[in-house]
Amino acid sequence: MNEYQLYIDGEFCEASDGNRFESTNPATGEVWATAPGATEADVDRAVRAAKRALTEGDWPALTATQRGRLLYRLADLVAEAAHDLGSIETTDSGKLAAETRAQSAYVADYYRYFAGLADKIQGDTLPIDKPDLHVFTTREPVGVVAAIVPWNAEMFLTATKVGPALAAGNTVVIKASEVAPAPLLAFARVIDEVGFPPGVVNLITGFGEPCGRALTSHPMVDKVAFTGGVETARHVVANTVHNLAPVTLELGGKSPILVFDDADFEGAVNGAIAGNFGASGQSCVAGSRVFVQSGIHDEFVAEVVRRAEQIRIGDPLADDTQMGPLATVAQRDRIEDVVAESTAQGATLHTGGRRPEGLDDGWYYQPTVLGCPDQDVRSTRVELFGPVMSVLRFDTEDEAVTMANDTEFGLGAGVFTRDVSRVHRVSRAIRSGIVWVNTYRAVSPIAPFGGFGDSGSGREAGMDAIHEFTTTKTVWINTSTEPMANPFTIR
Ligand code: NAD
C-alpha cells in the first residue's frame, strides 16, 4: 500500500484528524494507495502559510529573474521524474502510461515557458493628461491562489496554473482530486526538492466537502483557478461570494468535429479517433459530436467503426495497450445509462456499447460509435467523458455550423476540409475557445487554452495566463518643484 501525505508550509504531514481515504486502481478495481483528507483546519493552515510566504521571508524579496530560475529548476526535476510520475498517474487514474509519461515530460516545457516569462512581465508608462505627474503601471501578483484540479490530467492542469502563478510572484495551495490524489502528492516531493521558500507551494487533497469548499471560500484566498465539471464550478463560484476572488474556469465540453466531403479522408478519421478514443475519451476537448457531410458519411462511419474495433484495450501500464479503463465505476455506469437512453431515442449503435470481454476486474468500456438522427439524442447533449462518439449527417456548410453551435458548451472544435476559404468562414463562425483545422487535440504552453459559454472563462497557457494571475497597480508621482496644492484654495 502506498501512503501519501499532505505538503503544507514546506512540511509533509497527516490530516489534523488523522483520517485517510483510499484510492483505487481503475485497471484492477483494487485499492493501491491512501491519502489524508484535508480538514478545514488543514486548509486554513495551508492558506495562512501561503499568505505569510507572499509577504514575508525570501519569496517576495526574490527578483523576477530569480523566480524564473526556481521554475527552470522545477522544470528540470519534473523532466527527470516524468517516467515515475507518469506511472503513478496511470496506476491512480487508469490513463495510458504512454500518455501520462509523455504528458509529464511535456509539462516540463510548460514550467520552462513560464520560467522564461517571469522577468518579462511589465507595465506601462502613461502619457497622462495632467502636468507635473509621472504615472506608470506595474503588474502585481494577485496573491494567494487556490488551484483546484480534476483527476484526468493532473500534472498538466497543475502546470498550467502553478507555472504562471509562480512566475508572477503569487503563492499557491493546490488541491488534488480525491479520485486520483497520488500523482500530485508524489509531485510534492519534487516541489520540496526545488527549494521554494516554505509556504510558496502547498499541496493538499480531499473531497469537495469540506476541503474544496473551505479552500475556495477562504477569506485569504485572492484567486481561484478551477478545472473540473460545470456543476462543481457553480459551487466554486458560489463559494467565492465570501472572498470575492476572481475565478478562472476550465470546464467541460461537447466539442464538434466537422468533416466536409473534400477533407483528407485519412486525416479526418484520425482526428475523430484521437478526439474520441484518446485517453478513453476522458478529455475536456473530446470531439464527441462528429458532423460528416453526406457525400462521405457512410464511408466515414464504416472506417471509424473498423478502426474503433481494432483498438487494443487493456492494462494502461502495458506498452502495447491503446485504450485503458475509465477512472471511476460511477462514470462507466453513467455512460452505460446514456448510451441505452440514446439508442432508445433512435440512435444506431454502430459498434461498442458494452464492457469488453475478459476485463471484468477494471472499469473498461468498448470504444463506441453511435449514429444519431439529430441532437435530441441525449449522447449529443451531455458530456460523457468516455469513449463514445456521436456521428451526425449534414448537407450544407451553414447547416453544419448551426448544428455545431447548438450547445451550451464552447471549448474545442475541429474542421476538416481542403478549402481555405471555408477554413476561415467556419473557424470564424464556430463559437469555441479553440478551433483546430485539419488536426485535433494539439496543445502548447505558448497557445492560450480555454472556453466559451459553459466551458468556462479565462485562459490558461500563453501570455494570457500571466494576465489571469496578475493585477494592475497604478503609481502617480508628483514631479513638480511645488508642493501639492491645497484642495480648498480656489485659484
Ligand atoms: P469535478 O468537478 O468532479 O472535480 C474537480 C475538482 O473540484 C476536484 O478536485 C474536486 O474535489 C473539486 N471539488 C468538488 N466539489 C467542490 C467544491 N464544492 N468546492 C471546490 N472544489 C470542489 O471534475 P472531475 O470529474 O474530477 O473532472 C472531470 C471534469 O473536468 C470534466 O467535466 C472535464 O471536462 C473537466 N476538465 C476540463 C478541462 C479544461 O481545461 N477545460 C480539463 C480537464 C478536465
**Position 430 confidence tier, pLDDT thresholds 50, 70, 90:** very high
Note the pLDDT of residue 490. Answer: 65
Note the pLDDT of residue 74. Answer: 98
All 3 cell numbers of residue 148?
483546484
CA dist 226 and 148 (Å) reads 5
Phi first, then psi: what are they for 5, rounded to 5°? Answer: -130, 165
Ligand 1, atom 16: nearest CA belongs to which residue? 208
Q: Which of 89, 99, 154, 250 is flagged as catalytic?
A: 250
Q: What is the pLDDT of residues 242-275, one digit of tens each?
A: 999 999 999 999 999 999 999 999 999 999 999 9
411's CB contacts (< 8 A; 6+ apart) are: 251, 252, 253, 255, 284, 285, 432, 433, 434, 450, 451, 452, 455, 456
Q: Which of 99, 284, 372, 460 is flagged as catalytic?
A: 284
Q: How far is CA 5 from CA 187, 191, 205, 293, 428, in A?
A: 11, 13, 9, 53, 48
The arithmetic mean of pLDDT across residues 416-423, rounded, is: 98
The arithmetic mean of pLDDT across residues 281-300, rounded, is: 97
Known catalytic residue: 250? yes
Note the pLDDT of residue 491. Answer: 59
CA dist 29 and 308 (Å) reads 25
The domain segmentation of the chain, as residue ranges, is: 2-251+451-475, 256-437
Q: What percent of the chain has pLDDT over 90?
A: 95
Q: How does strand 223-227 pair with strand 144-148?
A: parallel
CA dist 69 and 489 (Å) reads 53
- pLDDT at residue 1 above 90? no
CATH topology of domain 256-437: Aldehyde Dehydrogenase; Chain A, domain 2 (3.40.309)
State if pTM tops 0.85.
yes
Q: What is the pLDDT of residues 149-170, one digit of tens each?
A: 999 899 999 999 999 999 999 9
**Position 360 confidence tier, pLDDT thresholds 50, 70, 90:** confident
The atom of ligand 1 lying closest to the CA of 239 is 19
Known catalytic residue: 284? yes
In CATH, what class is 2-251+451-475? alpha beta
CB–CB of 8/42 below 8 Å? yes
CB–CB of 39/213 below 8 Å? no
